[in-house]
Amino acid sequence: MASLVGCELRDGIAIVTIDAPPVNALGQSVRAELLAHIQEIEGRADIRAAVLRCAGRTFVAGADINELGKPPLSPVLPEVLEAIEAARIPWLAAIHGTALGGGLELALACTTRIADNKAKFGLPEVTLGMIPGAGGTVRLPRLIPMSEAVEIVTGGKPVTAPHALAIGLVDRLCETDLLSAAIAFATELAGELKPASLLDRPCRGAEEVDWQGKAVAIRAKARGAEAPMEALDALKENLELPAREALKKERQRFLRMAASEQAAALRYAFFSERNAGRSLTSIDSVPADLWRIGVVGGGTMGAGIATALLLSGSEVRLLERDTAAAEAATARVKDMLDASVARGAVSRDAAGNAIDRFFASPDEAELISCGLVIEAVFEDMDVKRGVFARLDAIMPKDAVLATNTSYLDVNVLAETTINPARVLGLHFFAPAHVMKLLEIVRGRDTGGRALSTGAALAKRLKKTSVVSGVCHGFIGNRIMAAYRRDCEFMLLAGALPAQIDAAMRDFGFAMGIFEVQDLSGLDIAWAQRKNTASARDASLPYSRIADMLCEGGRLGRKTNKGWYDYSSGKKTDDPEVTRIIEEERTSAGVTVHTFTDEQIMNRILGVMQREGQALLSEGIAESASDIDVVMLTGYGFPRHRGGPMYLASHSTDRAEGHQAARD
């Protein structure tokens, strides 16, 4: 087997290179080879300093996630880091790409750090249900201020190279030729006295942290995820214990957490996301050119899609019905870009550059040079069919035509074209430039080129894509419609919206189903129910409560009233809604009973799982993990629980997990 760690010598400087594609994860073989090199270098009197670097796209991106949760294999990472820290000579980490988790801990064990100015640094262990296990919570706050360490360790988000330089996480940045800069730096270090290891230094600014306030904020944000609080506790351990004792406690905590249910669920989520949409990568067809993309319709959805495309580097040609509508669409896109700048998601320069690539007009000829056109007009089959017939007539034969729809039948739309093979559905989630999920809808006749274009687009937009067949609502909205319906039956049977929403929040959702409906508006689902009313099976139960709210003008937050009342500026329960529910209970003649929160959640999960099974058996979803990815990335399902299908296959854990969250 080819070696994963190499070493060469230049003028007394050892250059140790980890080369373990794809992301230089620190699996057992890498650790063993690295340790062997460290020991060998230690025994060579002619070596004055060492540079530790990586080949390929990134510095070490962490532990090998496949090894986590299993018995540790020797040598463990702390042993390797101790050997570097105790070395006679200085070690310099030369970082490009992302130094994450064990990768950053490796860099922290080195004497100094140099990085290219696009590198990123982070301890994302909390996103995998753990805390750092090789000194991250002990060495980091001795290098950078504790308040910064708290953000990095408990938030799990990486920081940029300029920020890392500002807080002292790296010593130098370089623009080009990282290796030469690293060798020059290492040569300087070789002539100096080796500084004390981080473990022999005090923490920086621990007294400036409001530990109590942080704990309250972290617990509220975590919504039942255990890792962020454990990470804070591990950092706090530094206040009471000497560094080497804190290191031991950190390791115990890490091992306990790596074996936890939440960590297993989060690892499953990590790999499920990377497997999603994989079936499309085997399609042997060249995708359409995506450097110029057409969008039809500049409402909220169309403008959001245009913004996402612009931020991915594409030029966008947006078609609107007249000049005024084109101007309104341009204003909408500008607002979205400004909001992205304000959120810190993009730089002002990137936003300025993006708007320069945006052209909105009522002239359909502007679309002709686009490789892909995404229709994002009003969710109405007749309107969309009209657009597709027109696009089919004007667009070159090799252009791909996509519809952004949440519910409509892509096959029926495709029938309006001469070549339905070039039609696919792309279900974006609002706001399209923020939400990670993209359902790629494969119609009956969708061809390889259209699908590979969908996959290439998702990659370009850095979205998580899942393939769905055609059905009403595709994967996500179909499951949501099913459990929303069941929640309304629970209202008829005795629960109230506030209780169901609280049970869902308690489980880990950011919002309950009724709060979500109020936010997104009740009218779209109402229109769908009216459209499909004639096809409804009259023998099946139907709750009229939502229809009654809509008929009374209660369409959610936008009308200040929906399932709740918002007219005071905040959400309050509304006796009028309770009255409507009670009236319906009476007219339906149901026997009312009380629900526990656990019964509510078990019912919701049961419906999600049954609908998920149906999607699998009908061939709409390609795998159970795809369904989980949709629910995690598009519908607020708590990530630390893995997803409804994951929970179905871990059903005993579910009851325990739910109990634990309530305790």
Quote the least distance from Cβ 616 to ligand COA, whole Å.
Answer: 22
Q: Given the structure tokens 């960590």, which residue do they identify?
A: 263
Residue 50 gets the label, from left (phi > 0), alpha (psi -120 to 50) or beta, of beta
Q: Is the dihedral of CA 192, 196, 201, 204 positive or negative?
A: positive
- The 358-361 sheet, strands edge to edge: 358-361, 315-319, 292-296, 372-375, 400-403, 423-428, 437-441, 464-468
Active-site residue, from 33, 82, 85, 105:
105
Q: Which range, of 59-67, 390-398, 528-536, 634-642, touches ligand COA by CB under 6 A?
A: 59-67
**Window of 3-11, 33-41, 58-66, 139-147 that interacts with ligand COA by CB under 6 A:** 58-66
Concerning whether 105 is annotated as a catalytic residue, the answer is yes
340 binding ligand COA? (CB under 6 A): no
Q: 58 vs 307, which CB is nearer to ligand COA?
A: 58
Shortest distance (Å) from residue 642 CB to ligand COA? 16
Is 65 a binder of ligand COA (CB under 6 A)? Answer: yes
> Does the annotation mark 125 as catalytic?
yes
Q: Residue 116: left (phi > 0), alpha (psi -120 to 50), or beta?
A: beta
CB 509 within 8 A of CB 644: no
Q: Are the C-beta atoms of residues 65 and 104 closer than 8 Å to each other? A: no
Q: How far is the CB of 71 from ligand COA (least distance, A)?
A: 16
Among 39, 66, 572, 651, binds ligand COA (CB under 6 A): 66
Query: Which spans in 223-322 are helix H?
Result: 227-240, 243-258, 261-275, 300-311
The 10 Å Cβ neighbour count of residue 505 is: 18
Q: Quick one: which segment of 44-52, 60-68, 232-240, 655-663 binds ligand COA (CB under 6 A)?
A: 60-68
Q: Which of residues 70-129 bind ligand COA (CB under 6 A)?
A: 98, 100-101, 124-125, 128
Marked catalytic residue, from 33, 82, 125, 488: 125
Cβ proximity to ligand COA: between 595 and 646 the closer is 646
In the complex, what is the shortest distance from the CB of residue 125 to ligand COA, in angstroms, rounded to a whole number?
5
Q: Does 61 bind ligand COA (CB under 6 A)?
A: yes
62 binds ligand COA (CB under 6 A): yes
Residues 6+ apart with CB under 8 A from 152: 121, 122, 123, 140, 144, 159
Alpha helices in 508-574 (DSSP H): 513-520, 523-531, 545-551
Count CA within 13 A, CB hemisphere, residue 591. Answer: 0
Minimal CA–CA distance to 437: which of 384, 381, 475, 483?
Answer: 475
CA 387, CA 392: separation in Å to the nearest integer? 9
**63 vs 522, which CB is nearer to ligand COA?**
63
Q: Which of 279, 353, 370, 276 is nearest to 318 (CA)?
A: 370
Q: Which residue is nearest to ligand COA (CB)?
A: 62
Among 4, 25, 77, 470, binds ligand COA (CB under 6 A): 25
Nearer to ligand COA, 101 or 155 (CB): 101
Report yes or no: 61 and 100 within 8 Å, Cβ to Cβ: yes
Cis omega before residue 575 (within 30°)? no
Q: Answer yes or no whether residue 550 interacts with ligand COA by CB under 6 A.
A: no
Indicate the residue among 22 and 589 with the shorter CB distance to ligand COA. 22
Least distance to ligand COA from the beta carbon of 92, Å? 22
Considering CB under 6 A, how many residues would be counted as binding ligand COA?
Answer: 17
Positions in 496-515 near ligand COA (CB under 6 A): none
119's tokens: 């590198």
Kindly state whether residue 63 participates in binding ligand COA, applying the rule CB under 6 A. yes
C-beta of 230: minimal distance to ligand COA in Å? Answer: 14
Q: Where are the beta strands (DSSP E) in 537-619?
A: none
DSSP letter at 216 equals: H
Q: Smallest distance from the beta carbon of 136 to ligand COA, in angstroms? A: 10
- In the list 23, 83, 144, 183, the residue contacting ligand COA (rule: CB under 6 A) is 23
Q: Which residues inside 599-638 make contact with ligand COA, applying CB under 6 A?
A: none
State the nearest-atom distance from the C-beta of 61 to ligand COA, in Å.
3
Q: Which residues contact 493 (CB under 8 A, 6 or more apart)?
A: 590, 591, 592, 593, 595
In the shown chain, the binding pattern of residues 189 to 228 toward ligand COA, with x for contact by CB under 6 A and - for none, equals: ----------------------------------------
Residue pair 223/126 in contact (Cβ under 8 Å)? The answer is no
- Of the residues 10, 157, 221, 274, which one makes contact with ligand COA according to CB under 6 A: 274
Binding segment toward ligand COA, per CB under 6 A, in 18-26, 293-301, 392-400, 415-423: 18-26
Rg (CA), the chain: 28
In whole angstroms, the minimum distance from the beta carbon of 58 to ligand COA comes to: 6
Which residues form the catalytic set?
A: 105, 125
Instruction: Give contact residues for ligand COA (rule: CB under 6 A).
Output: 22-23, 25, 58, 61-66, 98, 100-101, 124-125, 128, 274
